[in-house]
Structure 1
Amino acid sequence: MRIKPKSPREAIQPEVAPAPPARSRHVRNPIVILINLVITVAVLTLLGGGAALYFGKQAFEEPGPLGSDSTVLISSGAGLSGITERLQAQNVIEDGIVDELLFNLGVRFYKNATRLQAGEYAFEAGVSMKDVMEALVSGKAVVHQVTIPEGWTTAQILQRVRSHPVLVGEITELPKEGDLLPETYAFTRGTTRQNIIDQMKAAQAKVLAAAWERRAPNLPVETPEDLVILASIVEKETAKADERPRIAGVFVNRLEKGMRLQSDPTILYGLYGGEAWLQDRSAIKQSELKKENAYNTYQIDALPPGPIGNPGRASLEAVANPSRTKDLYFVADGTGGHIFAETYEQHQANVAKWRKLEKEQREKEKAATPAPSN
């Protein structure tokens, strides 16, 4: 085959490129076009959703706008929107449509929309939306307390419960003297006063049943009610825990010998009831000592007709298992405790010492008091 020579002009001319191949009929098919579009949209959606999830999760977990520790009250039945509104009003969550939407979506993403609980919650400064959500889901609300001292009368207890600023509602069932256990009771906001009283009654019944079950044999108390009565007297006689079993032992010894208990607090209760210790009564008048009343253990034999207060756990256990001594008397020693005696003669000597201490104390107080200026 002979090659036809090209002229110089033809040699420098570019060759014509071949025509592109014909487009496939499958590519031009509407179904293929639709599939490509769907795949493209899906990829873009996944990329956009992933980016939104990533940045949304970061915003959900980053510190919030709360500037200092604060408590927030979430009402029952508020719902997710109501809770969000409350959190924004308290500046726990930024006040804006974006943060509102972010918190709502975050709670729903974690499937907690119906698990948020009402209550009073304490949040630290800078708390994140996620931590807020977890707190509301856990239900770990702020815990309040009411403390009832041992030996308080029911009147004193009712006064404290009624005056507590967090408790709600009225006390509808008044408890009897000796039915309540003095302790510290924890509760959350919204707890009713009657509920606290019911807790005290249930606790006292449980402690009394245990003490009665473990009582020493042959005690001169015939019923659990008698044990409460004697424990209430022990409670009023001493505030020192280590003395309670010994004072209980004194009263048990006197009951076994048929002696009167001769406990001063029973006089006050018999005259003034549970109101006796709502006022300052540090001493008993001679007229009160001689005045007849059903509780005065200087006048009556054995136990009074009912408790003179609400004894605590330690006093109930002290009466159930008193110290085994021969003591029949005790008197204050001037230091908050008591001196015990087996005989009346020993007791009289102890009383003389106590009266001397009292006199010296009064003289010191008188000397320390500045004279009135003219």
Structure 2
Amino acid sequence: MWRNIASNALTLLIVVVAALAGFIAWAKTQFTAPGPLAQAICVEVPSGSTMRGISQDLAEQGAISSERIFRIGAEYTDRSQDLKAGSFLVPETASMDEIVSIVTASGQSTCGTEIVYRIGVTESHVEVRELDPATNRFVEQAEFDPGADEAAPEIYQQVRDAEDTRYRIAIAEGATSWQIVDGLRNADFLEGDLAEVPAEGYLAPDSYEVRPGASRGELIDRMRTRQEQRLSAAWEDRADDLPYDTPEEALIMASIIEKETAVADERPQVASVFVNRLNEGIRLQTDPTVIYGITEGEGTLGRGLRRSELDAETPYNTYVIDGMPPTPIANPGQAAIEAAVNPAETDYLYFVADGSGGHAFAQTLSEHNENVARWREIEAQNADDSDGGE
């Protein structure tokens, strides 16, 4: 009798173990298989959320097929206690395993509302925008100048109080250190004083994610560190026989290149012109350096250069001085830095605007004069068009 009972118990145990193994295999397949989501969605994870609450939300939005398997999978992979507050983009057909990773990984929101403060060369403005998960594109909701006297739009005040709002500071290539500091002082979601303007050229133009209440000084330090890293890496990989001997001089050249062209593909060619001029003892003769000598980087000139300004002997007037100015004239981006240390190999000594946003390059003065004549014709035509053709 006891032998029969033991035999039956063993048989039952084997059946249970086999069934459990089958269930685990099936659940694992369900956990890692493509999910039912037909269109990307944003999932909000408030502070203090639990896997149970998130699994219910995901099920209601049609992102997962089983709340239980979602929670078991999170527990089995040791991620059930790692929920991060924020708003996260869940792509279509994302598996439960992928969704668990999305809501437990970095904690950096990838969805929802974003406040972007763009500090530019000619102007700065704040954008309030929201990600449309269906298209993965941001839709602008408001834009304003925080330095103006006008009040911020109501939607800005609303989203500032939202827990999942993301903040970014976007610095344009070619912005001066004064412009960056002035812009940061107008960012009311940052804290801390900036007692002085950092050295020109040593702040990296880039996009910086910040949190409300972040320190302005610490953000400046991040910019400075990033620029130092870029400059150091570029200098290590520099071309031979450059007409400058230090990374600091390369940064000066990069800033001039940055201010002369916004066309990425042209930067190495522009660099080659200035390098060729330095090698041949020809003055750089570049307007942006003269302008910097007048404005000292505090805003834009807002008009053309006068003859007297082109003739004035200042440390930044490269029509008068030999070589380069004493400091950078803006904060160059990485592409301009790389162009400065690895210029194109050309015989160009001149360039002028060509009317398309780029420049026409020339080896000789006669070729350059022809290009200048064409550019003046374009300018005259544009002036006629703006006057209605009269």
Is TM (by shorter chain) over 0.5? yes
Of residues 104, 107, 119, the one that matches 1:140 is 107
Are residue 273 (structure 1) and residue 240 (structure 2) matched?
no
320, 323, 329: which is aligned to 1:308?
329
Q: Which consecutive aligned stretches of 4+ in structure 1 deviate over 6 angstroms post-superposition?
A: 69-76, 81-85, 91-94, 107-113, 130-134
What does 1:289-368 correspond to in 2, within 5 Å?
289-335=310-356, 336-343=358-365, 345-368=366-389
Q: How many angstroms apart in 2 are the aligned matches of 1:324 and 1:135? A: 47
Deviations 1:123-174 (A, max 9, x none): 89xxxxx999876543433149443222221233334545557xx4336565
Higher percent of residues as strand = 2
CA distance in structure 1 between the partners assigned to 2:90 and 2:354 by the alignment: 51
Residue 154 (structure 1) aligned with residue 173 (structure 2): no
Query: Which of 236, 252, 262 pairs up with 2:259?
Result: 236
Matches within 5 A, 1:16-95: none
Which structure's CA Rg is the greater one? 1
Deviations 1:161-218 (A, max 9, x none): 45557xx4336565321112223x3526447254443333222222211211121212
Which stretch of the first structure deviates more once superposed, 169-178 or 268-277?
Answer: 169-178
Instruction: Give the C-alpha shift of residue 270 in structure 1.
Output: 0.8
Find 2:284's aligned residue among 261, 275, 289: 261
Q: Is the 8 A contact 2:267 2:339 kept in 1?
A: yes
Change (3 A) 1:211 1:169: same
Conserved in 1, the CA contact under 8 Å of 2:174 and 2:330?
yes
CA distance in 1, matches of 2:78, 2:273: 65
**Could you list the per-position Cα deviations for residues 254-284 of structure 1 after superposition, in whole angstroms to 9, with x for gaps in the alignment?**
112222111101111111122233x6x3632
1:269 to 1:109, Cα distance in 2 relative to 1, 3 A: same
- In 1, the alpha carbon distance for the partners of 2:106 and 2:282 equals 57
**Which residue pairs with 1:54 in the alignment?**
none
What does 1:96-107 correspond to in 2, within 5 Å? none
Q: Percent identity?
A: 40
Unaligned runs of 5+ in 2: 1-39, 61-73, 92-96, 112-167
- State TM-score, norm by structure 1: 0.62
Alpha-carbon shift at residue 117 of structure 1 (Å): 3.6
* Equivalent position of 2:214 in the other structure: 192
Cα root mean square deviation, aligned: 5.2
Contact 1:154/1:175 (<8 A) preserved: yes
Say which of 175, 182, 200 aligns to 2:205.
Answer: 182
- Tell me the distance in 2 between the aligned counterparts of 1:256 and 1:151: 25
Amino acid at match of 1:352: A
Q: Which runs of 5+ in 1 are unaligned?
A: 1-68, 86-90, 95-106, 125-129, 370-374
Q: By percentage of residues, which structure has more helix?
A: 1
User: CA 1:74 to 1:260, structure 2 compared with 1: closer, same or farther past 3 Å?
Assistant: same
C-alpha separation between the residues in 2 aligned to 1:364 and 1:115?
Answer: 62
Give yes or no for contact 1:180–1:204 (8 Å, CA) kept in 2.
Answer: yes
Aligned length: 322
2:273 aligned partner? 250
- The AA in structure 2 aligned to 1:332 is A
